[in-house]
């Protein structure tokens, strides 16, 4: 049996799409509010893109710190931190950004990543603990 094709007005489609996106955003926010303290970097969830800065601070930043992520004012320049971002699990804090090494097509590249409190809509590093030497 072949599925029937249904055509809906564009305005309704756009409303449904916005509703779906709103539900996804609510689910992501719920995850942050209900998070338990981090035991390992694998416990840190993906950071959602939240364009409203106050909401990002209230939902993401506050709850990451509550669960064990290290805020910027507690970081030591030159120290290596274990944490997470899209391309690395270790970064050196230089006072402004994390310096990381990432792999791309078999090569090791040096790159920088912002701290989660400085989210600019790209990748951010969430430090969980200082690496012991």
- pLDDT tens sequence across 52-78: 888 889 989 999 999 999 999 999 999
Query: Does residue 91 carry a pLDDT above 80?
Result: yes
From CA 98, how far away is CA 3, in angstroms rounded?
Answer: 52
- Place 84 in a pLDDT band, splitting at 50, 70 and 90: very high
- Place 13 in a pLDDT band, splitting at 50, 70 and 90: confident
DSSP-assigned letter for residue 61: I
From CA 119, how far away is CA 53, in angstroms rounded?
Answer: 9
Note the pLDDT of residue 131: 96
From CA 38, how far away is CA 108, in angstroms rounded?
Answer: 29
Percent of the chain topping pLDDT 70: 99
From CA 53, how far away is CA 62, in angstroms rounded?
Answer: 12
pLDDT per position as a tens digit, 25-48: 788 778 888 999 999 999 999 888
pTM, full prediction:
0.80
């Amino acid at each position: 049996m072949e599925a029937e094709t249904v055509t809906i007005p564009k305005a309704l489609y756009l409303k449904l799409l916005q509703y779906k996106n709103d539900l996804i955003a609510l689910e992501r926010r719920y995850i942050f509010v209900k998070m338990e303290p981090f035991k390992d970097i694998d416990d840190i969830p993906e950071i959602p893109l939240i364009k409203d800065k106050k909401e990002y601070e209230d939902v993401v930043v506050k709850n990451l710190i509550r669960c064990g992520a290290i805020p910027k004012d507690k970081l030591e320049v030159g120290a290596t931190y274990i944490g997470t971002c899209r391309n690395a699990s270790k970064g050196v804090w230089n006072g402004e950004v994390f310096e990381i090494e990432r792999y791309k097509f078999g090569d090791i590249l040096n790159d920088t990543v912002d701290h989660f409190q400085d989210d600019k809509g790209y990748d951010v590093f969430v430090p969980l603990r200082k690496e012991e030497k």
